[in-house]
Structure formats: C-alpha cells, structure tokens
Amino acid sequence: MVTLNIDGKDEKDGVRLMKIFHQTGVVKHATSLGGVESLVSMPYNMSQPTWKQQEMLGIKKYRCLLRLSVGIEDAGDIIGALDYGLKKII
C-alpha cells in the first residue's frame, strides 16, 4: 500500500490521474483496495470527511491524496503506468 499526495494539485487532478492510470490497463480505479491487481482510490470520495468537515478539523491539506495498492503485475508495467500518469498531470 502506497499513499501519494501531489502538492499543488486538487481532487479533480486526482480523479483525472486515476482515469489515466485506469486507461493504461495496469492500475485500475477501485472503491475497495482488496485484490491481487494494482488498484488506486481517493480517500476524499470514499471514507474521509467532506472538505468543509476537514477544514473544521484542521486537516485540509491533502487535496490530491491517492491510495495505491500494488498488485502482482509485472513491476515494469506498474512503474510504467505510474510514470505515464504522473507525467500527464505534473
């Protein structure tokens, strides 16, 4: 399990990045991170408080936070998909 926060990006960038990862066919967008394949999700649209609630709690600093569960695919394929996706949004 790997958590990424991309500084200077927001939730829209995160959603875009998840779509790009999914399009590679290697890292799939999922609402659950339990499987043998590489999966990516964003806590903001799953289990975390709304942005307003986060702000009230003083934790509004991770706008582009993604969780990646690395699967059993070829390591080069996973690295390639991550590299491709990150280059597209950074």
Res. 46: pLDDT tops 70: no
Query: Average per-residue pLDDT in the chain?
Result: 86
- How many other β-carbons are positioned within 10 Å of the β-carbon of residue 43? 14
Res. 17: pLDDT tops 90: yes
Q: What is the pLDDT of residue 76?
A: 98
Q: What is the 3-state secondary structure (H, E, C) of the chain?
A: CEEEECCCCCHHHHHHHHHHHHHHCCEEECCCCCCCCEEEECHHHCCCCCHHHHHHHCCCCCCCEEEEECCCCCHHHHHHHHHHHHHHHC
Domain-wise residue ranges, the chain: 2-89
Q: How far apart are CA 41 and CA 35, in angstroms?
A: 13
Q: What is the pLDDT of residue 47?
A: 61
Q: What is the pLDDT of residue 49?
A: 62
Looking at the domain covering 2-89, what would its CATH class be?
alpha beta
Q: What is the pLDDT of residue 33?
A: 72
Q: How far apart are CA 15 and CA 18, in angstroms?
A: 5
Res. 26: pLDDT tops 80: yes
